[in-house]
Structure 1
């Protein structure tokens, strides 16, 4: 059973505000959303979001990311994107033509998936992997062109 936005916030010791709940709710069913997409989806400045401003949106995204309630990914050449899928070890496929992103489970299972040749004294606990290519729709469009 999926936890409510309020319960998720409380589980991390955060206050359950209208702004935080609106963003968590807007991410459900819309993984890899940009801040602009979230802004359009929740209606920044509307009463239902507690009058959330654009700067407030970014502040809440930062708070939720720091609390590990959401994950921020930053594919090269793309705006930062946010997702609710946290706490597991997954990676991303990105279409270099349209920017579509898909989650891909890690074959190793536990982080980090890769070990550097030399760790230079670091304790490595995570590896972020992004595969680039063409999604099925863009591949089909390219083949027909």
Structure 2
């Protein structure tokens, strides 16, 4: 069950969901808090800088345990590795830049969760709708606009 992470204290968060408090778990939660929308490699780099030698498998195990406990949310934008964030317990969506792959949160646009109603449920009980908006962030759009040649106007 997702939690609304009111506290950013990783020790309290782990205890609140019945997970044992370990150095790698605390370091992973700190890393994802500091850098939301990070992939496992980025999380591992931050954890190693904070806690020293930690195996990639340990990072994956902690990420999986924290996702299963509702402390982290895993998102998988098309063409990207899985990304992790601490914002759980709500029905927010994401904006993804096609240029630099920057990801930002956007609150649910309209309506109550899950924001969308399927035209056909096929017997499913819909619990969540995941929406990803794709485009260019301001920096990438500006860079693209400055590199796109302006067509010459000919006088005919």
- Answer with 104-113 or 19-28: which moved more: 104-113
- The higher relative CO (CA closer than 8 Å, separation ≥ 6) is in 2
The residue aligned with 1:91 is 93
Give how far 1:29 is off: 2.6
| Structure 2: runs of 5 or more not aligned | 1-5, 148-156
RMSD: 1.6
Contact 2:44 2:54 in 1 (8 A): no
* Residues 70-92 of structure 1: per-residue CA shift (max 9 Å, x gap): 00000000111000000111000
The residue aligned with 1:70 is 72
Distance, in Å, in 2 between the alignment partners of 1:108 and 1:134 is 23
| Structure 1: runs of 5 or more not aligned | none
Larger radius of gyration: 2
Match for residue 28 of structure 1 among 24, 29, 33: 33
Task: Confirm whether residue 13 of structure 1 aligns to residue 15 of structure 2.
Answer: no
Match for residue 37 of structure 1 among 38, 42, 45: 42
Task: Confirm whether residue 144 of structure 1 aligns to residue 146 of structure 2.
Answer: yes
- Answer with 109-118 or 84-93: which moved more: 109-118
Match for residue 123 of structure 1 among 97, 122, 125: 125
Give the aligned length.
Answer: 142
